[in-house]
């Protein structure tokens, strides 16, 4: 991570930019366009959209600030970066909220046009930071972007409101100039977007160009010049950007195709899972049925009903919705039907912080049901990995006739990464064999190997049967209150899930040796941050390894043995300590958590400090709890 220094430097390895403005300032759009242009330049990149819970909070307030952070580099990167090198602040509130995170010496681009008395007050600022020395530690590019934008678009005769809306494109033009990105894709996109209102397209393009021209022609303050981030060395192939929910949706559809099934997606909108529904609703021609149910309970029940009908029942939601689905998931466990439950986690407890990310549904996924109710739990590591893990969820659900919970989170769901489009021929189909043979059939006859029961779909002649949530006789499938039978069936349900382990790849040591002083064990979206932190610590010669889990129930076959070869196990999580509990419960090993519960992804710097503290025999949590994250970030 190299910081743009006070001297003009052409080549940078890696840059982190944070666009911040009012909810109405179009920062998410600006960010995505910058991302697209950057991807085309061949950089590796990672992004982090961070927006308020309000749809459109009142202009100018701090809680209405919307941010988009992008990290791009010529090297392999895995996180949207810790502290930004560049902050674009479209108004005082955006500056106030984000300035703290900007690196010392970093570049701060400010729209002075928005620094009116009214806006300062709305942001709760007593003094004007442009004047009170707050910006002294940074390089500042203070421009009246509002005025220059209005100037640039005036010939199109837009009202002041529409004219002002082009500010973000002006800014984007300037940033394109600064980092040498191509404007054309954005021009094309604007034309497409405003197909029906060409004047808006023209005005926005004019603003975009004006920003660029401003950079080309204006006298820049000393220390600010143009930069270049060379292409990253990525594996050759075709790439696209992908967001987690999109990848999950595609993985479900493709997984179902591999299973030879159609997808039934029953869901009820909830942040940050809603876009799963939106993506799937667009794929009806892929054999997808989407059902927007009246609530989460109906959603999961309809999906189980669909699985009984021979489709792949899938339901998606976030934490509060998973809580509501618990009873019905228990039924799916009892009747042993396939079901995929996508849990896009967010900050809890209760409504919590709906637009913020967290990993705090792990224990709920494992154990949040009445009775002994085991199921499979998976977790995706990156936005693109959601595709692969969704396929894996379908595979396990159909092969073992079981519900599978796939954990992702808000950060994966909305975060984008460049993704190598997979070669579809690499995937082995795993077709479902519906039972049609009446010979020896009863609903709970099992495959000897997988212990999966037979899947007989209504409509099939001679296989008529009844299933339900009451305990069933292991042999006839009829209701049974026989004590020994219940014991036996509980053990079979456990054995079936445990048996999936035979079918899983070993846990991988992503970095380092398979034994040593410290194993840093992660799961889910912390993959990138942990990886890079471990890499940094290893660079100083420490015997630290990185193990990342994508299968959480059951765990990979080698996990117990692997972890036992380390002196200590550290589990960083964006929750108050869950996987560490599970590891202790399962393996009796002394796993210790490092926990950040701030609704924000880990910074690499934090993790480096934490790992080093752990190696020095200290408890990194105490450090964290005392100082909090935003401030520890520069470490």
Q: Which of 272, 321, 334, 384 forms a contact with ligand TPP (CB under 6 A)?
A: 321
Closest CA to 403 of 381, 380, 379, 373: 373
Distances (CA, A) of 241 to 32, 36, 383, 410, 421: 10, 8, 9, 17, 9
Cβ 373 to its own copies, closest distance in Å? 4
Residue 63 binding its own copies, by CB under 8 A: yes
Q: Scanning residues 341 to 360, which ones bind ligand TPP (CB under 6 A)?
A: 351
Residue 55 binding ligand SF4, by CB under 6 A: yes
Q: Which of 287, 499, 516, 557 forms a contact with other proteins (CB under 8 A)?
A: 287
By beta-carbon proximity to other proteins, the closer residue of 63 and 367 is: 63
Query: Tokens 């692969």 map to which residue?
Result: 388
Q: Scanning residues 235 to 294, which ones bind ligand TPP (CB under 6 A)?
A: 268-270
Name the strand (E) or helix (H) holding 486. Answer: helix 483-499
Question: Phi and psi dihedrals of 471, rounded to 5?
Answer: -60, 140
Q: Which stretch binds other proteins (CB under 8 A): 3-11, 152-160, 466-474, 520-528?
A: 466-474
Cβ 307 to other proteins, closest distance in Å? 8
Which residue minimizes CB distance to ligand TPP? 270
User: Parallel, antiparallel, or unpaired: how do β-strands 44-50 and 65-73 relate?
Assistant: antiparallel
Cβ 321 to ligand TPP, closest distance in Å? 5
Angstrom distance (rounded) from CA 95 to CA 110? 8
Q: Which stretch binds ligand TPP (CB under 6 A): 117-125, 156-164, 320-328, 491-499?
A: 320-328
Q: Which stretch binds its own copies (CB under 8 A): 249-257, 368-376, 382-390, 436-444?
A: 368-376
Residue 436 binding its own copies, by CB under 8 A: no
Cβ 349 to other proteins, closest distance in Å? 11
Q: Scanning residues 591 to 620, which ones bind its own copies (CB under 8 A)?
A: 596-600
By beta-carbon proximity to its own copies, the closer residue of 198 and 349 is: 349
Angstrom distance (rounded) from CA 133 to CA 106? 15
By beta-carbon proximity to other proteins, the closer residue of 75 and 421 is: 421
Residue 561 binding other proteins, by CB under 8 A: no
Residue 320 binding ligand TPP, by CB under 6 A: yes
By beta-carbon proximity to its own copies, the closer residue of 217 and 484 is: 484
Cβ 469 to its own copies, closest distance in Å? 3
Query: Other C-beta atoms within 10 Å of 308: how many?
Result: 18
Residue 124 binding its own copies, by CB under 8 A: no
By beta-carbon proximity to ligand TPP, the closer residue of 351 and 476 is: 351
Closest CA to 567 of 617, 521, 519: 519
Angstrom distance (rounded) from CA 338 to CA 336? 7
By beta-carbon proximity to its own copies, the closer residue of 113 and 348 is: 348
Closest CA to 539 of 595, 634, 612, 623: 612
Structural contact between residues 561 and 586, judged by C-beta atoms closer than 8 angstroms? no
Q: Which of 8, 127, 220, 479 forms a contact with other proteins (CB under 8 A)?
A: 479
Distances (CA, A) of 240 to 35, 66, 89: 11, 25, 28
Angstrom distance (rounded) from CA 608 to CA 529? 9
Q: Scanning residues 320 to 379, which ones bind other proteins (CB under 8 A)?
A: 320, 327-328, 331, 335, 350-351
HEC string of 101-160 equals HCCCCCEEEEEHHHCCHHHHHHCCCCCCCCCCCCCCCCEEEEECHHHHHHHHHHHHCCCH
Q: Which stretch binds ligand TPP (CB under 6 A): 124-132, 319-327, 340-348, 361-369?
A: 319-327
246 Cβ neighbours under 8 A, 6+ residues apart: 275, 279, 383
By beta-carbon proximity to ligand SF4, the closer residue of 66 and 575 is: 66
Q: Scanning residues 446 to 475, which ones bind its own copies (CB under 8 A)?
A: 468-471
Angstrom distance (rounded) from CA 381 to CA 507? 13
Binding site for ligand SF4 (CB under 6 A): 55-56
């Amino acid at each position: 991570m190299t910081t743009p220094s006070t001297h003009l430097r052409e080549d940078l390895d890696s840059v982190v930019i944070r666009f911040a403005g009012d909810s109405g300032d179009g920062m998410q759009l600006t960010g995505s366009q910058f991302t697209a242009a950057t991807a085309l330049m061949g950089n590796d990149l990672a992004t982090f959209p961070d927006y308020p819970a309000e749809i459109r909070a009142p202009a100018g307030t701090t809680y209405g600030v919307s941010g988009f952070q992008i990290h791009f580099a010529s090297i392999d990167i895995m996180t949207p970066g810790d502290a930004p090198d560049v902050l674009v602040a479209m108004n005082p509130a955006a500056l106030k909220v984000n300035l703290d995170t900007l690196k010392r010496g970093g570049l701060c681009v400010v729209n002075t046009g928005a620094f009116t008395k009214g806006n300062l007050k709305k942001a709760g600022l007593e003094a004007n930071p442009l004047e009170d020395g707050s910006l002294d530690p940074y390089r500042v590019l203070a421009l009246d972007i509002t005025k220059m934008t209005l100037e640039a678009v005036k010939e199109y005769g837009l009202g002041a409101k529409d004219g002002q809306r082009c500010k973000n494109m002006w800014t984007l033009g300037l940033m394109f100039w600064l980092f040498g990105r191509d404007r054309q894709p954005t021009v094309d996109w604007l034309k497409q977007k405003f197909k029906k209102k060409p004047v808006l397209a023209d005005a926005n393009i004019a603003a975009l160009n004006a920003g660029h021209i401003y950079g080309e022609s204006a006298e820049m303050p000393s220390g600010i010049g143009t930069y270049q981030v060379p292409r990253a060395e990525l594996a050759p192939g075709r790439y696209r950007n992908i967001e987690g929910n999109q990848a999950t949706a595609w993985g479900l559809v493709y997984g179902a195709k591999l299973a030879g099934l159609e997808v039934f997606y029953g869901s009820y909108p909830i942040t940050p899972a809603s876009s799963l529904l939106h993506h799937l609703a667009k794929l009806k021609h892929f054999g997808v049925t989407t059902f927007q149910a009246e609530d989460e309970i109906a959603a999961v029940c309809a999906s189980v009903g669909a699985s009984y009908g021979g489709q792949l029942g899938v339901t998606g939601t976030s934490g509060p919705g998973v809580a509501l689905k618990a009873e019905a998931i228990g039924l799916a466990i009892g009747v042993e039907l396939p079901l995929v439950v996508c849990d896009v986690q967010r900050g809890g407890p209760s409504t919590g912080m709906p637009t913020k990310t967290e990993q705090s549904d792990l224990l709920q996924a494992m154990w949040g049901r009445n009775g002994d109710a085991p199921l499979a739990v998976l977790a995706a590591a990156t936005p693109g990995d959601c595709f692969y893990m969704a396929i894996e969820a379908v595979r396990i659900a159909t092969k073992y006739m079981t519900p599978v919970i796939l954990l992702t989170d808000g950060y994966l769901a909305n975060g984008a990464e460049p993704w190598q489009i997979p070669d579809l021929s690499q995937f082995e189909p795993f077709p479902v064999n519906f039972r049609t043979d009446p010979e020896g059939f009863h609903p709970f006859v099992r495959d000897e190997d997988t212990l999966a029961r037979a899947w007989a779909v209504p409509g099939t002649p001679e296989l008529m049967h009844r299933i339900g949530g009451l305990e069933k006789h292991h042999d006839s499938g009829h209701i049974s209150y026989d004590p020994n039978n219940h014991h036996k069936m509980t053990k079979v349900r456990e054995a079936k899930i445990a048996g999936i382990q035979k079918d899983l790849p070993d846990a991988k040591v992503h970095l380092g040796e398979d034994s040593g002083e410290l194993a840093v064990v992660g799961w889910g979206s912390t993959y990138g941050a942990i990886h890079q932190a471990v890499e940094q610590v290893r660079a100083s010669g420490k015997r630290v390894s990185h193990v990342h889990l994508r299968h959480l129930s059951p765990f990979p076959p080698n996990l117990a043995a692997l972890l036992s070869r380390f002196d200590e196990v550290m589990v960083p999580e964006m929750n108050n300590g869950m996987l560490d509990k599970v590891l202790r419960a399962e393996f009796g090993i002394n796993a210790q958590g490092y926990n950040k519960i701030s609704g924000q992804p880990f910074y690499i710097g934090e993790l480096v400090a934490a790992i080093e503290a752990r190696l020095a025999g200290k408890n990194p949590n105490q450090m964290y709890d005392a100082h909090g994250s935003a401030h520890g970030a520069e470490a």
